[in-house]
Amino acid sequence: MIKAAVIGSTGYAGQEIVKLLLRHPGAELIWYGSKSYKGEKYSEIYANMNGLTDAYCSGDQLAEVADQADVIFTATPQGYCASLMNEDILTKTRIIDLSADFRIKDVAVYEKWYGIEHKSPQFIPEAVYGLCELARDNIKKARLVANPGCYTTCSILTLYPLAAEGLIDTGSIIIDAKSGTSGAGRSAKTANLFCEVNENIKAYGVGTHRHTPEIEEQLGYACGHDVTLTFTPHLVPMNRGILATTYSQLVPGVTGAEVRAAYDKYYGEEYFIRLLPDGTFPETRWVEGSNFTDIGFRVDERTGLIVAIGAIDNLVKGAAGQAVQNMNIMFGLPETEGIDQVPMFP
């Protein structure tokens, strides 16, 4: 039985990890870490957990947890994980970090987009970017996994085969992404009040969103050269879900069949990625509450573009579900264990 800890267990992503681990047959949750709610009963913070756990929140002392846990999920603000990371911790336990601290290989890029100094850049090289379907082998042996962001998981999975197989002009990529509001977290901000979000749609972080370099870096690996792209996130009045509508110039002559073959090559065997038939496109409701990524596309012969669309649940495949998937891979468990929920509709 894997002993698992969650630091940052009282945020939405942290709570989702708790939810998954409570039903995971191979793991036991031994630490409900929380800076804000230390000492409080977990099921009073999240009353859905009533009767399911009697745990009280512990603090966020990473080093102390490292002595007890086989794996630690850090669902913490940017900079936290990097500020505490050291060799001792990584010797004792394995880390799955849901923050951005170890996602970006170029520390200068990280520091520029996040506006903070990286306190432990020496661990960046060994950190594995935990997009499970694309980095499974490296994840198996990793001590430190950088769990991908929600927008990035959806965007990269949607575009990776196109970039890797050279089917698109990677200089032309535009990602217009839409997210449910749980992606904004549980902290009390006026902008996230019900009446501010409900009956509204808006773009935000136009040209400046921090997930941009993460997507660029991974797609750069796919195609073998630097990628600069346009990424615009939008806030949608719903709890969960990300839809990434992507636009790329198709290399002249590439057919829809070739595009499908590329997707099949990368994802044909992947349980958690569902390629939709022609003429069908992802909707967030069909993946809600699950670890699935749905992908559909259309080659637009009028314009020469390919419109490829992906959908995930931002809290599952975009955070907690993929984190547990990473744990499963790291510990040699069946990859779907504990994260095989049927999407909940309606």
Q: How far apart are CA 104 and CA 152, in angstroms?
A: 12
Q: E strands within 93-167?
A: 94-97, 128-129, 144-146
- Look up residue 171 and give its two tokens: 């200089």
Indicate which single residue of 25, 188, 252, 332 sits in contact with a copy of itself (rule: CB under 8 A): 188
Q: Is 243 in the site for a copy of itself (CB under 8 A)?
A: yes
| Nearest to a copy of itself of 53, 61 (CB atom) | 53
Q: Is 252 in the site for a copy of itself (CB under 8 A)?
A: no
Shortest Å, Cβ 196 to a copy of itself: 7
Q: Is 207 in the site for a copy of itself (CB under 8 A)?
A: yes
CA dihedral 67, 73, 75, 81 (to 10 degrees): 50
Secondary structure (3-state) at 320: helix
Query: Looking up tokens 């999240």, which residue turns up?
Result: 46
List binders of a copy of itself among 208-227 (CB under 8 A). none
- Single-letter amino acid, residue 331: F
Shortest Å, Cβ 283 to a copy of itself: 4
63 phi, psi to nearest 5 deg: -65, -40
Indicate which single residue of 40, 52, 59, 114 sits in contact with a copy of itself (rule: CB under 8 A): 52
| Nearest to a copy of itself of 74, 181 (CB atom) | 181
Q: How far apart are CA 214 and CA 211, in angstroms?
A: 5
List binders of a copy of itself among 297-336 (CB under 8 A). 298, 300, 302-303, 305, 307, 309
b/e map of 168-193 (b: 16 or more CB within 10 Å)?
bebeebebbbbbbbbbeebeeeeeee
**From 57, 81, 132, 150, active-site residue:** 150
Q: Is 91 in the site for a copy of itself (CB under 8 A)?
A: no
Indicate which single residue of 190, 252, 269, 332 sits in contact with a copy of itself (rule: CB under 8 A): 190
Q: Is 169 in the site for a copy of itself (CB under 8 A)?
A: no
Contact yes or no for 100/79 (Cβ under 8 A):
no
Q: Is 155 in the site for a copy of itself (CB under 8 A)?
A: no
Segment near a copy of itself (CB under 8 A); pick from 54-62, 99-107, 143-151, 268-276? 268-276
Is residue 150 part of the annotated active site? The answer reads yes
Sort strands 293-300 and 273-275 into parallel, antiparallel or unpaired: parallel
Q: Which residues are catalytic?
A: 150
